[in-house]
Structures are given as C-alpha cells and as structure tokens.
C-alpha cells in the first residue's frame, strides 16, 4: 500500500519540490501503519486459519506461533519502506547498503546466539528477525531526520491530507503484488496436504 510513494517522490524530486518528499513519506507511514492494524488479525489468528485451510497440527501450531512473534517485524516495514524510498529517490543508497550490511551481520549473530546458544529455536529466529528489522527501520529514520534537511522539514499535518488519493494510487499495485505473493504461498499451502507434510513444507520453504 505504499507503492504510490515511488511515483510521487520521483515527481516531486524531479520538479524540485524536495520538501514534499518528507510529507509523502509521512503519509505513507500513516497508511502502512493502518494497513498493519487491518492485517494483524491474520497474524494473531494464523493457527486457526491454517487449520481451517486443512493444514496439519504439527505445521499449523508452530507456524502460528512464529507468525505471531514476527508481528513486530510487520510494523517495522511501515517505517522501513517509506524511508527507503525517500532515500533512494535522492540517490542516497550508500547509507542503505551500510544499514543492510549491518542488519545482515546482526541477524546472523543474533540467530546464532538465540537459536543455538540460548536454544530458543524458531522463537529465537523470530526475535532476531524483529530486532534487526526494527534496527534497520530506526536507523533509516534517524538518517532521514538528521542528514536530509532538504527533504525532511519535520512532522506536518499535511501528511494527513489526500490520504485517500494516495491509497487509490497504491491499490492497483498492491493487488498485483499480493497476487504474486499469494501464488507462491498457495504452493506451500497445497504442499501441506501431502504425505509427510512437515518434511515437504520444510523442503519447499528452503527452496
């Protein structure tokens, strides 16, 4: 639901209206946070939803727990995606690369620590994912606020204007992306109906 940001930010930057980048970014964050609230029930009730789709208990139960644990990561995307597009349109990609490299190194270290040292299993992997996702999102936002004075003029009530127009512009792209992702996810759901489903789903997930 934030895909309109790429179009609007590119237009604003090309027209020399760099100050609008911050407003568009804030508007996107608002919309994405609202979207997170709307889709969060699917995360919270993932276990019964998977069982309703015919998944076995040994798949649905751990998958539901993991999905619930990574709910904070979903919310981090509401900050990470808009700030990323804000920086990309201004060709400030080196900072994104450094943040991504730090996040990757942190993810590896935290996964090793939580999964193997502490023995938390998939819970540890989920917690590590949450931490690194929010670290990246916060780091990008701090850079925007501290080092992008032309595009960031502070929080503005203007971000709450024309929200519906922003949503309409994003909706078609959102549908396309959802269909693409659902196509892949449907394969995993169907695999869960095979014999020895745990092994089959695990193999497909690695692929």
- From 10-24, 47-61, 72-86, 143-157, the region with the lowest mean pLDDT: 47-61
The confidence band for 107, taking pLDDT boundaries of 50, 70 and 90, is very high
Average pLDDT of span 177-181 = 80
| H/E stretch holding 38 | helix 19-44
Predicted local distance difference test score (pLDDT) of residue 118:
96
* The pLDDT of residue 199: 65
Question: Which residues have a Cβ under 8 Å from the Cβ of 73 and sit 6 or more positions away?
Answer: 129, 130, 133, 134
Name the residue among 148, 150, 156 with its Cα closest to residue 16: 150
Query: 168: pLDDT confidence band, cut at 50, 70 and 90?
Result: confident
User: What's the mean per-residue pLDDT of the chain?
Assistant: 89
Residues 6+ apart with CB under 8 A from 10: 89
Confidence class for position 182, pLDDT limits 50, 70, 90:
confident
* pLDDT at 78 > cutoff 80: yes
pLDDT in tens, 30-59: 999 999 999 999 999 999 998 898 888 888
Whether 207 has a pLDDT exceeding 60, the answer reads no
d(CA 119, CA 127): 13
CB 34 within 8 A of CB 92: no
Dihedral of the alpha carbons of 99, 25, 5, 7, in degrees to the nearest 10: -100
Q: What length does the chain have? A: 207
The distance in angstroms from the start CA to the end CA of the chain is: 27
Phi first, then psi: what are they for 161, rounded to 5°? -90, 150
pLDDT at position 138, please?
97
Counting residues of the chain whose pLDDT is more than 70, the rounded percentage is 92
pTM of the shown model? 0.88
Q: How confident is the model at residue 195 (pLDDT cuts 50, 70, 90)?
A: low
Q: Which spans in 45-93 are helix H?
A: 46-52, 57-69, 71-88
**Higher-scoring residue by pLDDT: 22, 6:** 22
Alpha carbons 156 and 144: distance in angstroms, whole number: 15
SS3 content of the chain, % helix, strand, coil (to 5): 80, 0, 20
């Amino acid at each position: 639901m934030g895909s309109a940001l790429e179009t609007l930010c590119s237009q604003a930057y090309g027209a020399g209206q760099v100050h609008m980048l911050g407003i568009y970014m804030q508007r996107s964050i608002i919309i994405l946070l609202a979207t997170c609230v709307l889709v969060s029930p699917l995360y919270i009730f993932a276990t019964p939803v998977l069982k309703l789709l015919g998944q076995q208990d040994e798949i649905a139960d751990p998958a539901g727990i993991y999905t619930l644990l990574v709910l904070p990561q979903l919310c981090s995307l509401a900050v990470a995606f808009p700030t990323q597009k804000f920086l990309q349109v201004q060709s400030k990609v080196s900072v994104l690369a450094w943040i991504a490299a730090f996040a990757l190194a942190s993810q590896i270290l935290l996964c090793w620590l939580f999964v193997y040292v502490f023995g938390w299993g998939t819970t540890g992997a989920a917690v590590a994912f949450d931490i690194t996702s929010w670290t990246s999102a916060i780091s990008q936002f701090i850079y925007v606020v501290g080092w992008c004075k032309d595009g960031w003029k502070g929080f503005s009530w203007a971000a709450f204007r024309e929200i519906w127009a922003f949503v309409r512009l994003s909706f078609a792209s959102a549908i396309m992306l959802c269909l693409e992702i659902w196509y892949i996810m449907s394969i995993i759901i169907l695999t869960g109906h095979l014999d020895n489903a745990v092994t089959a789903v695990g193999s497909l997930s690695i692929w």
